[in-house]
Structure formats: C-alpha cells, structure tokens
Amino acid sequence: MQMEIWPFLALLAGLAAIAYLLPIVPMRWRRALAIVVVLALLCWAPFVLDNFRTFQMSRVAIMAVAVLGLNLLTGYNGQVSLGHGAFMILGMYTMAILMDSKEQLNFIDARPWPFWAALIVATGISALAGLGIGIPSLRLSGPYLAIATLAVMISITPVLKKFGGLTGGVQGLRFPTPPPPEFLKGLIDRPDWLYFLSLITAVILIFLAWNLLRSPLGRALIAVRDSEIAAAAMGIPVARSKVIAFTLSAAYAGAAGGVLALLLGSVTPESITIADSINLLVGVVIGGLASILGSVLGALAVVFIPSDAAKIVASLPGLGGGIVERAPGAIQGALVIIVMILMPLGVAGVLHRMAGLDVRRLPEVVARLPSRMLKGAQLAAGRFRWVWDIRPWAQRRPFNPDDY
Amino acid sequence: MEALFLAPPPWEDWSLFGQQVVSGFATGAMYALFALALVLIYRSTDIINFAQSEVAMFGTFAMWSLYLAGLEAWQLIILGVLLGFALGAVVERVVVRPVEGRPHLSIVVVTLGLFLLFNSVATWIWARGELPKHFPSPFSFEGVNLGFTSIPQHHLGLLLVGAGVMVLLVLLFNRTKVGLAMRATAQNPLAAQLMGISVGRMLTLGWALSAALGGLAGVFIAPITFLHPGYMLPVFLYASAAAVLGGLTSPPGAVVGGFVIGIGENLLGTYTPAKWLGPEMKLPLILLVLILILLVRPTGLFGERAVRRV
C-alpha cells in the first residue's frame, strides 16, 4: 500500500482529533490515547510513504528536536538566538569526525565509533559549546543577543573551511550511515531504519523536555522569562537558570545535528546555512512559542513549506501559472505572514482552542458557524479599515494591547 | 620556511597599512549608511527589520528598470528614496499593522516572511539574462589621489551622503517633535497614545523613513557591488553587526560601527598569521571583536541602556 504525504498527514491529524475529542476513553487518558495513535501512525509511515517522503519525515523528526531546543530557550526562557544552526552543525561535525574512518590530526581514533556513542558525544560537545556561549550571553538581551548569536552562526562556516585538518575543509566529511541492527535485517531497509532512529531520538528528547518543563527547573525557566526581578525575589537563581536553558537548548540542537548527519551520511560547511539557522526561529514562532506541540508543528512547517507550499497553491483552481510557479519564495513568505497575522499564538494556539471543543455540542457549534464567520468577517473588516481608509485625518481608536 | 605573516608589519610599510585603512573606510561607509537605516527602524518601532535589505534591493531593481528607460543617475537616487518611502509605508500598513502590538518576535518573523516575498518577487521580475547587472552612479569611479593610495569618487560621495544622513537623523530624533514622538512610540506605545501621539502614524512614518533610507543605501551600494537579487544580504549582515556594535539607538554609533567593522576586517585579514587566521578568517575575527565589545558594553559603544520601571 502506498500513500501520498498529504493524505497521510490528514489521516494522522484526523485520527488524533478523533482520539482526543471523542469520549472513547476517560478524560485523563485522552491525551495519552491521542499520542499513542499518532506514534502508531508514525511507525507505519515508512511502509506507506515513498523514500523521499520518508526522508522528509525523518527531517521533520530531527527539526522537531532542534526547534524544541530553541523553543526551550526562546519560548520558555525568553532569550532569542539566531545562531542555533551553529550548534546543529557542531553536532553534525562531531558525529562525522567520530564515525568516519580517517584519522584527524593524528589524534582522533580512525576506527568508526558506534553511532549511539558518537551521538552522545555530539550532544555533550554541543552542550559544552552552549555553556561557553550561554555564560557571556548573560550580559546581552533582545536584539543584541540575537545579532551576537547570528554572528556566531556567520562565523562558523569560514572557520570550518579554514581548519580542514579536522573538518575536511570545503569538501567536508563522508561516512557510511549505520545499517539496521541484526534482528531487524530483512524487515526494514536502511532509510527506514534511519527514519526510526530519528523518530526514537525525537520521542525520547520530547519526553525529556515535557518532563523537564514540569519540574522546578522548568518552572524556574518560565519564571525568569516572565520577570527576572520577580523570579530573583522568589529565590530563583536567575543567571544559573539562563545558562542552563542555553546549555540544554544547545544540547538539543547538537543532538538534532548528530542525527541529521547520520541521515545524510556526509557533512559540509554548507550543510546548515544562515537561512536554516534563522528558519529555526521561524519554526518556533509559527508553531507556537512555549509549546511542545508547537515545536513539532513548526518543524513540519520548516520542512514542508519550502518543498510543497508553492506546488499546492499552484494546483488550486485559478491560481496556476505566473507568480505562483515562478516565484515559490513569494508563496512561502506570504504563507508565513498570513499564519502570523491570523494566529497570534502560532498554529499550536489554534489547536489548543480547538482542543477545548465539546463534541456533544458539535452540531450546535457547526450550526452557529456561518453567523460567527460573518461576525468575524465584520470584525476583521473593522480592524482592516486602515487598508482602504487612507484619509490622513481619520481617527483610529486608541491603541489597546488587549485587542490582540 | 613559510613566512608566518604575509604582509610586512605596518611600521615597515606604512603605505600598505594606509591602503588597507582607506579601502576598509570605503566599505565601512556602505555598512554605515545601511546601518543608519537599521538604527532608524529600531528607534522608531523597537524591532530589527530583516526585510530591510530586500526592500532596498527591490527598489534598486525598479530603479534599474528606469535606468534602462533612460533616466539619469541622480534622478534614480531621488526616485529610489521616494519609492523606498512608499514601499515602507505600504508594507507597514498592509502587512505589519495587523500584528502591531504583538510580541516583537511575531513582528520579526513577519519581516522574515517579507524577506522571502520581496526576494522571490524581485528574482521573478528582474533576474533574467545576465547577472549581476551594472548600476549607474552619479559620481565617477576615477580615483582621488591621496598620495599613498587612491579612493574612488563614488566612495567619497557615499561617505558624504552617509555623514549628511547621520546628522539629519540626530537632528530628527533629538531636535524635532516628530522624532520625540517616534521614540516615545517605540518605547511605550500605550503611554505614547495617551500623550496624544498617533501611534499608528508614527509607526508608518518610521517604516517609510527607514525604507527610504534603505533605498538610498541600495542605489549607492549597487554601483559598487553590482546588482543581483542577493546583493544586499551581506551588506545587511555587516550593517546589523555595525549597528549593534555602535548601539542600536545611536546614529553616530552606527557610522562608527560601520567604520570599525570595515577597517577592522581589512586589518585583521592582513596582519594576522596567514597559516592560522589570515584573509579567510577576517569575518569570524571581526565578529569575535564585535562579541567582545558587546561583552564589555552590552548595548554597544554608544547605545542607550534601556531603563524600565518594574
């Protein structure tokens, strides 16, 4: 059986919604049931999707880890970083250096390491780098921190090219991707195994993050984001929390990079570009700040918007040809803008509202939908009046942050 | 044995040192001019606009079309500024206004979307045939002799324009009511509104002015780097480093930052051991300097420390 990616994702979303919204199991088990359904479908995915889509789904799992890592820092701790691509590429290179069969600088063992050991080292080294950057970052905030971290990302490419003895220079490094273990031979092939590897890593790291955020440390991160002074007054070590957030999020990015290297089997200085690094932040904000579900959705957006958005829009009736086909970036950009305008809290914010839906009242809600949409349209028309109302003397109603 | 340093130390060859400083000065002027646009938008809306470079690129390509239609270089500059102003105002009204008042990150992500949009549309419209394209300058590229080296007239023009814009911005922010209103809007929109400032209009004005300044920078930089859809992105990255180095709130800081980055990059590329650092590492080195300076002065060299009541 073969499936296209979009029917598959629709099926995934539909079944998850059914599991979550219908009274199949008691209230407190609903979320668990929805997660089990999603995981079961994700385990089924490589057998129904073609190789390219399986590869994309592996990338989604990897990007989910990286976006979640950045979300730990930006969404939960309030520090903006545009340089998390640097930690990812650090993880990738650590992985490649340990797993290839060259002897770097007459120092690092030529024998390939087992991938899991290399992955642990890659995560650890990225965490150390995060610690090293997190401590000086204590002094910076807002745009200064954003540009300083972007500077780290910009710098890393020339550095990787220059020190070729360790990194293989412009060509980068290649190594064989790990084959499936003995007991799975014959059941799944190599791309499927890499997909499951990415999925398992993502599930473990997402679970750890979920746990962490419900611990005193996680609450401390959030308190520091909301008000450093209030957090300090509550006895929270502000500086330490911020450094821990940086270290953790760098470790997540490094782990994502490590698995990405496994998936690709090669690393070059261009494997992660500045645009990729900035896209992580786009993923965080589009998915939903301070939301684990949002991080996964953001990863979906980061992977699928560049590859599919323009094609889908072009296939809609009446929209084919012209700008849609020739300028795919315009569609991607417009999509990002539209999502931001319509969904202040990201896609996860919308889902959180829909999760409150009571299924027994569904007919009622559906019946009210037309009138509500009309009211919404009227409201929007009022709010968007500035588009056509260009009289310079027009009075705008007072600025009110609560409107948003 | 391979020489550790490629260049003789400055005290043995002052003219090489002078050449490096002057050429760094010339590139620094580009960064400074664009950094001023970043300072302007930061001061008036409290965000960094990632679409700034692409709006400027878009406007410059439009000017290039007019150049083909037969307009003079100085007319292109004036029209470029006006087009930038209009583009900035339209972008603010149509795309940024709906997310006004939201957390800054939302607005920054909208500007990233705008970046993609403008870049892609400009590529679609103009990036055909031979790239990069030649763009005219009102000045010539003949060198002005300084004795040990020479500097093209165009770069001198760029320097003068940059200095003029800097003075105008200082006057705007510190000596006019509009500038005061713009600063108030960026700092606290609600309080500004209560003081009778039309916040929406100030935000539109801030976007329009900074896009106009970006357009000015675009048409002045295009003759140097030539015109292609990616030509402003490196300038944006350097200029954002320059603006942060000088302090995002200070126009003179942006200019100083631009020169520090332009000159420092050249000197670090020339006078560091080629085996370990050298020309390929000049970018990481100057960014390291940026980060070190930020560690000593977290709001840049001349930036105001934002004091907020709790």
Q: Tell whether A150 lies on the interface with B, counting CB pairs under 8 A.
A: yes
Residues 6+ apart with CB under 8 A from A91: A122, A123, A125, A126, A253, A254, A255, A256, A257, A258, A260, A261
Work out the minimum CA distance from A214 to partner chain B, whole angstroms: 24
Residue B145 forms beta bridges with which residues?
B150
A107-136 pLDDT per residue, tens = 666 678 888 999 999 999 999 999 999 999
Contacts of residue A176, Cβ cutoff 8 Å, sequence gap at least 6: A112, A265
Stretch 30-89 of chain B: residues touching chain A, C-beta under 8 Å: 42, 47-48, 50
The tokens describing B294, both together, are 């930020």
Instruction: Give the pLDDT score at A404.
Output: 41
- Residue B189 confidence (pLDDT): 87
- B198 token code pair: 């039309």
Predicted pLDDT at B114 = 93
- DSSP string for residues in A216-251: HHHHHHHHHHH-HHHHHHTT--HHHHHHHHHHHHHH
pLDDT > 70? residue A141: yes
Please check whether residue A175 is in contact with residue A38, taking contact to mean a CB–CB distance below 8 angstroms.
no
With respect to residue A229, please indicate whether it lies within any of the assigned structural domains: yes
Burial A286-319 (b: 16+ CB within 10 A, else e): bbbbbbbbbbbbbbbbbbbbeebbbeebbeeeee
CA distance B250 to A51: 53
Contact indicator for A343, B102 with CB cutoff of 8 Å: no
* pLDDT category of residue B132 using cuts at 50, 70 and 90: confident
CB contact under 8 A, B116 and A387: no
Q: How many domains does chain A have?
A: 1
Question: Is the Cβ pair B105, A334 closer than 8 Å?
Answer: no
Confidence label for B243 from pLDDT (cuts 50, 70 and 90): very high
Instruction: Say if residue B141's pLDDT is above 60.
Output: yes
Which candidate, A267, A61, A47, A294, places its Cα nearest to that of A164? A267
Stated pTM of the model:
0.88
Please state the separation of Cα A404 from the chain's center in Å: 25
Mean pLDDT of A42-50: 91
- For the stretch A54-58, contacts whose Cβ atoms lie closer than 8 Å and that sit 24 or more positions apart, written own/partner, are A54/A191, A54/A192, A54/A195, A55/A191, A55/A195, A55/A263, A56/A5, A56/A303, A56/A304, A56/A307, A57/A5, A57/A195, A58/A191, A58/A194, A58/A195, A58/A198, A58/A199, A58/A263
Lowest-pLDDT range, A134-138, B34-38, B39-43, B138-142? Answer: B138-142
What's the pLDDT score for residue A169? 83
Give contacts of A 102-141 with B, CB under 8 A.
136, 139-141
pLDDT at residue B73, rounded to an integer: 87
Computed over every residue of chain A, the mean pLDDT equals 87
Residue pair A305/A335 in contact by the 8 Å Cβ criterion? yes
- Collect all residues of chain A within an 8 Å Cβ-Cβ radius of residue B248: 143-144
Cβ–Cβ below 8 Å for B283 and A154: yes
For the segment A310-324, what is each residue's pLDDT rounded down to a tens digit?
Answer: 788 877 776 666 666
- Residues 6+ away with beta carbon under 8 Å from A40: none
Residue A191 lies in a domain: yes
How many Å lie between the alpha carbon of A368 and the closest alpha carbon of chain B? 26
pLDDT score recorded for residue A111? 78
Q: Where are the domains of chain B?
A: 28-125+158-296
By mean pLDDT, which of A164-168, A255-259, A290-294, A387-391 is the weakest? A387-391
What gap in Å lies between CA B261 and CA A234, rounded to an integer?
42
Residue B310 has pLDDT above 80, yes or no: no
Confidence tier at A296 by pLDDT (50, 70, 90): very high
CATH code, domain with A214:
1.10.3470
Q: B109–A286: do the CB atoms touch at under 8 Å?
A: yes
The answer to whether the CB atoms of B116 and A150 lie below 8 A apart is no
Distance, in Å, from the CA atom of B189 to the CA atom of B194, rounded to the nearest integer, reads: 9
Radius of gyration, alpha carbons of chain A:
23
Rounded to 5 degrees, φ, ψ at A180 are -60, 150
Q: How far apart are CA A134 and CA A225, in angstroms?
A: 15
Residue B264 DSSP symbol = H
- A275-289, A309-323, B88-102: the lowest-pLDDT one: A309-323
pLDDT at B221: 92
The number of beta carbons lying within 10 Å of the beta carbon of residue B90 is: 14
State chain B's mean pLDDT as an integer.
88
Tell me how long chain B is: 310
Over residues A57-107, the pLDDT tens digits come to: 999 999 999 999 999 999 999 899 999 999 999 999 999 988 887 767 666
Identify the pLDDT of residue A308. 85
Q: Which domain holds residue A265?
A: 53-355
Structure tokens at A13: 């979303």
With contact defined as beta carbons under 8 Å apart, do A38 and A12 qualify? yes
